Chain A
């Protein structure tokens, strides 16, 4: 995760600073929206009557600025576009998005605000903004309560996660340039539309000059940023954007067993196999977390002190992105659950008379673990070394025993 600036800021050791930056950006965004007139319902509603295209222009400029900023950051190696896509791009669900979009539009035209601008209006002291934001909260609560009835609809028409540049099969930077060009053209179009639908006498002469000046500023600004993003294409040694996530370091079954038994507070074990398989047999104190449920667990918020060990069926190709958001160390059980079975659930092979002290100790531990986990009678003690008679080992894992 070294390349992805926004994520390492939000999930790794800089998470706390990342959150502070998010709050600062939030205030700045709210302030700019308020200054642009987004705290006034009449201004926002004028968008729907095509009399005032400010909302369209501000939002489109914001999107283009964010897009070009991301492209430049990716170009100079600060952001990993693939990692960005994996972590923050939401999946596409055709039907719920269509219906939700229509409902949002209806709410928008009825109240005069969208959720973000209702907060801006509330902060400007507008009571209608406060009422709208209250409606957003109440609506979300109601949706949450009736969610079980809508669960199927919630994921209807799933198209997965895809990005426009992947879909069109063109380099991100080229698509970025095209979108910027379209935005500039639409900007001009929006101004024309405004002129056509503007009410008579709505624009006094002196503000026309200001509009011209700000228009020039926007054009020069966006063109400049677009140019910079194109220049990043020519930069040498651009990092590979789509580097696959690094494979996880491994831990052997014996090391895992020792930590689970001797120092259980240093390890947190997730069993990624299916619930059925995990329910039948699993590493002691492990938690059944099928891959599909991993995202719901809030991995980035878990206390990072214990190492997180994942146990899979031996078929894990690469580390799931969600796991990499764990703030502590993530390890993978080498060989998956089969290795655990072979180590802890199979009878340990008998030791020869020439075994060293370490081997004897390892045998005793393994035999005790096997007996504790399977309920099988304890394995015979290792053959005594010369001059040493081992005492029978106490059963491990008994808490206070």
Chain B
């Protein structure tokens, strides 16, 4: 509101002024990362035998989201008014949906984390953190319904991942954001950055192979979605074509194609595919590039919307 107020009432504010700084891209990136981590943890828990890595992913998800929400809160003009989001639920407002989704994400990730422990390992955990023993009943509940908890984790992860894109595309007056592809694009990108982050955090051969396969699929899907996003803009009206021109010869061309497409997608995809035939040693290069690309995607799209 504050921004709209400033933009619309002050004739000296140049049109197209960038009002969103670093906070929003950081929040969108960490939100997507958190969503992806929880989905990956739920997907891989029964497929790979690396409980440590799965627990790490589940634990990292709410932490990443909390840091992201901290950034979002810093962006608010009236920081004390944040509670107002939770005083009502507006069915037609993506922001309201998002605010409640963010809140739902925490209990689901806690349940997911508890369901990863059997009674023995939970008892060991309680030995280290005595406060956790109060959650014993909850742990038994989560463990008994772990399939349901997994499904809830996947659903809330998808919800959060899609929401980070919908947040932008709901502001349809901005031509570059006026695309339904942004939701799935941010979800898939969050998924691939989460796979990359987990690759950095855990070095087990089994989980590395599984993450690499997931990442290849996610990156390929992301490339296709970026193609659809650009085609969608190009086949839109004049304002949307102008927005597409930002990436096709305009001021964002070099950063978008070199950071997002080449560094973040094409090179990691090629290296992942070449890793086995060429017997390449897995290094931090691929995950780091995917993370750079994922962050650049948010930063550039947030800027593009404000420029269009």
- Does B110 count as interface, using CB distance less than 8 angstroms? no
A19 close to B284 (CB less than 8 A): no
Q: How far is the CA of A123 from the CA of B280 in the complex (A)?
A: 12
Number of A-B contacts (CB under 8 A): 39
Check A20–B285 contact: CB distance below 8 A: no
Interface presence of B156 (CB below 8 A): no
Contact between B284 and A125, CB atoms less than 8 A apart = yes
Give Cα distance in the complex from A34 to B250, angstroms: 33
Q: Which residues of B contact A15 (CB under 8 A)?
A: 254
A265: interface (CB < 8 Å): no
* CB within 8 Å for A16 and B254 given contacts A23-B263, A27-B262: yes
Q: In whole angstroms, what is the CA distance A348 to B267 when docked?
A: 66
Render B261-288 as a binary contact track against A, CB cut-off 8 A, 1 for contact: 0110001000000000010010111000
Q: Restricting to A19-41, which residues have a CB under 8 Å from any CB of B?
A: 19-20, 23-24, 27, 35
B257 touches A27 (CB 8 A): no
Instruction: Check A125/B262 contact, CB under 8 A, given A16-B253, A19-B254.
Output: no
- Kindly list chain B residues whose C-beta atoms are within 8 Å of the C-beta of A24: 258, 262
Give the chain A neighbours of B278 by CB distance below 8 A.
35
Q: Is A124 an interface residue (CB 8 A)?
A: yes
A17-B252 Cα distance, complex, nearest whole Å: 10
A23–B262 touching, CB < 8 Å: yes
B12 CB to nearest A CB, Å: 14
Report the Cα distance A125→B287, complex, angstroms: 12
Contact of B281 among A13, A20, A27, A125 (CB under 8 A): A125
The answer to whether A124 and B253 touch (CB under 8 A), given A19-B258, A27-B267, is no
Q: Does B251 contact A (CB under 8 A)?
A: yes
B14 contact set on A, CB distance < 8 A: none
Interface residue ranges of B224-270 to A (CB < 8 Å): 249-251, 253-254, 257-258, 262-263, 267
A20 near B262 (CB under 8 angstroms)? yes
Q: Which residues of the partner chain B approach A23 to less than 8 Å between Cβ atoms? A: 254, 257-258, 262-263
**Smallest distance from the beta carbon of A122 to chain B beta carbons, Å?**
9
Are A20 and B263 interface neighbours, CB within 8 A? no
Bound: A171/B33 CA distance, A = 59
Distance of A16 Cα from B258 Cα, bound (Å)? 10
For B284, the chain A residues whose CB sits under 8 A away are 125
Residue of A nearest to B253 (CB): A16
| In-complex Cβ contact of A125 among B251, B253, B285 (8 A) | B285
Q: In the bound complex, how far is the Cα of B250 from the Cα of A142, in angstroms?
A: 37
Q: How far is the CA of A233 from the CA of B254 in the complex (A)?
A: 36
Report the bound CA distance from A35 to B249 in whole Å: 33
Q: Is the interface of A mostly helix, strand, loop or mixed?
A: helix
Q: How far is the CB of B259 from chain A (nearest CB, A)?
A: 8
- CB-CB < 8 A to B254: which residues of A? 15-17, 19-20, 23
List B residues 38-64 near A (Cβ within 8 Å).
none
Residues of B within 8 A of A13 (CB): 249
Question: Which residues does chain B contribute within 8 Å of A20, judged by CB atoms?
Answer: 253-254, 257-258, 262
Chain B: minimal CB distance from A184 (Å): 30
Q: Give CA–CA (A14, B17) in the complex, Å.
A: 25
Which residue of chain B has the shortest Cβ distance to A122 in the bound complex? B285
On chain B, the residues within 8 Å of A124 by CB distance are 281, 283, 285
CA A124 to CA B285, docked complex, whole Å: 8
Q: Contact: B253 with A17, CB < 8 Å?
A: yes
* A27-B267, A124-B281, A125-B285 given; A16·B250 CB < 8 A: yes
Residues of chain A lying within 8 A (CB to CB) of residue B267 = 27
- How far is it, in angstroms, between the C-alpha of A15 and the C-alpha of B257 when the chains are bound? 13
A125–B280 alpha-carbon span in the complex (Å): 11
Which residues of A (215-241) have their CB < 8 Å from a CB of B?
none
Which residues from chain A contact B251 at a C-beta distance below 8 Å?
16
For the complex formed, measure the closest distance between the CB of A9 and the CB atoms of chain B, giving whole angstroms. 12
Complex CA distance for A210 and B251, rounded to whole angstroms: 48
Closest to B258 in A: A23
Question: A16-B254, A23-B262 given as contacts; is B249 within 8 A of A125 (CB)?
Answer: no
* CB closest chain-B residue, reference A23: B258
B205 to chain A, nearest CB (A): 16
B11 vs chain A, min Cβ distance (A): 16
List chain A residues, Cβ under 8 A from B283. Answer: 123-125
**Which partner residue on chain B sits nearest A28 by CB separation?**
B267
Determine the chain A residues whose CB is within 8 A of the CB of B263 once the complex forms.
23, 27
| A contact residues around B253 at 8 Å (CB) | 16-17, 19-20
Neighbouring B residues of A125 by C-beta, 8 Å: 281, 283-285
Q: Other CB < 8 Å A-B pairs besides A16-B251, A20-B257, A35-B278, 7 of them? A: A16-B253, A19-B253, A19-B254, A20-B253, A20-B262, A27-B262, A125-B285
Closest 8 CB pairs of A and B: A16-B253, A125-B283, A23-B258, A19-B254, A20-B257, A16-B254, A20-B258, A123-B285
A-B contact pairs, 28 of them (CB 8 A): A14-B249, A15-B254, A16-B253, A16-B254, A17-B253, A19-B253, A19-B254, A19-B258, A20-B253, A20-B254, A20-B262, A23-B257, A23-B258, A23-B262, A23-B263, A24-B258, A24-B262, A27-B263, A27-B267, A35-B278, A123-B283, A124-B281, A124-B283, A124-B285, A125-B281, A125-B283, A125-B284, A125-B285
